[in-house]
Structure 1
Amino acid sequence: MQRDRYTRIVSWLKVLFPLAALGLLSTLFLLSRAIDPGQAIPFAEKEIQDRLRDQRITAPFFTGATAKGDMISFYADVLTTPDGQVGSNRAENIRATIKTAEGVTFRLQSAVADIDLAQDHAELMSDVILMTSTGYRMTSELITSELSALNLQSPGHVYGTAPAGTLEAGAMSVQHSETGATTQLLFTNRVKLIYKPKPLSE
């Protein structure tokens, strides 16, 4: 009796298991047909096109040393390649630091900068601030810089404060002297210095 009962149970299971498997497969097939592939993409078409065209890097940085031993570093919040132009990059909220071999430090900051590594060139634009460890703080609308050497140029008007007072000039440059032993901060084209002596300490 037990053997007959066991045989009947096995026979029923042989029928039920294939039926259950077919039921599961049919359910999966119906569910898969109910999914709309056009609604499965979480991004809008314009957003995808923008991501493909404009490569975006968050918190990029570049550091290096010049042949004269100066240390140069650039940091930014975001770096993009506008319109897919290879080699051309736009940085937002950029900060740059140059530490010369003789110990002078130059710090720059700007809201926008165009950087071209292949051309060894950077352009900092719109209210660029230059600060030095020797006491200068100058503002300009445009300052250009090499990436592999100390060569800062402001072809337009600069203004700010100097150790001796307030200073304005039509142009400014920072580069090594002809001998290369010292760093020169040069102001040219209608330089105006208003001397403000430091108050005598009591």
Structure 2
Amino acid sequence: MDMAQSDFHSRLIGWLKILLPLVALGILSTLFLVARTIDPDNAIPYADVDVEDRLREPRMTAPNYAGLTADGAALTIRADEARPASDSGTRASALALSGVLETPDGGRTELLAGAGQIDPGARRILLTDGVTIRSSTGWQVQGENLTAAMDTTDIEMPDAVTATGPAGVVTADSLRLTQAGDGEDSYLLVFNGAVKLVYAPAN
């Protein structure tokens, strides 16, 4: 009886050694035979980006610039999209900009603009297509264009501006924000040209 069981066991092992590799080959061949042909057009898209357009006109998405001015103010500029300067002389530009200037005296000024350019040679940023400035003092200023220095606190709006704040509404031909120059950490906002104030006293 023991010999019969041993003989059966040996035969079973022998058959399994033949059958199992055949079954494995059958499974593998079935996988290859029924697998769908890969269509490159149906590949998973990693990003909805026009590669040829990006090569022709390089750009960055959501760039961020941060720096410290010589007088200690922190300047941060962000944009939805930015394009580098070109060999033809076109300046670096950006769309939908927002910026924050935080001065050592605790003041905070926020900048919003539809578009802008950076002039590295002049160390200045030009904001265009509608500019809004919001100050921590409660003032909001709106104009068409703005220039800002990248290495010192010097912000200028050379065109007509409208400012709304705690004292009322101010209109002017231009304005400029600079360091006061008295050796203290204070800043001076000056309205120039035909300045008009509509005073609204607090209740």
- Tell me if both proteins adopt one fold, taking TM over 0.5 as the criterion: yes
CA offsets, 1:117-144, max 9 Å, x none? Answer: 8554333333322233445321111112
Tell me, yes or no, if structure 1 residue 123 matches structure 2 residue 126.
yes
Aligned length: 192
Q: Does residue 1:47 correspond to 2:27, yes or no?
A: no
Residues 1:29 and 2:32 aligned together: yes
Distance 1:40 1:28 in 2: 20
Q: CA deviation at 1:35?
A: 2.4
Are 2:92 and 1:88 aligned? yes
- Identity between Structure 1 and Structure 2 (%): 25
Task: Report the secondary structure of 1:114's partner residue.
Answer: strand
1:1-202 to structure 2, matched below 5 A, reads 1-32=4-35, 34-43=36-45, 47-49=49-51, 53-57=58-62, 61-75=64-78, 78=80, 80-82=81-83, 88=92, 90-92=94-96, 94=98, 96-110=99-113, 112-114=114-116, 116=118, 118=120, 120-161=123-164, 164-179=167-182, 181=184, 182-189=186-193, 191-196=194-199, 198=201
- Quick one: structure 1 residues 103 and 9, their matched pair in 2 at CA, closer, same or farther if it must change by over 3 Å? closer
TM-score (normalised: structure 2): 0.73
Q: C-alpha displacement at 1:10, in angstroms?
A: 1.4
Q: Which runs of 5+ in 2 are unaligned?
A: none
Give the counterpart letter for 2:61 in structure 1: R
TM-score (norm 1): 0.73
- Quickly say closer, same or farther: Cα 1:71–1:3, change in 2 above 3 A: same
Aligned mates of 1:16, 1:137 — CA distance in 2 = 84
Q: CA RMSD in A?
A: 3.4
Superposed CA deviations along residues 80-121 of structure 1, whole A, max 9, x for unmatched, are 234896983524352x222323444323233x3435485543
Q: Structure 1: which 5+ runs fail to align?
A: none
CA shift in 2, pair 1:7/1:132, >3 Å: closer
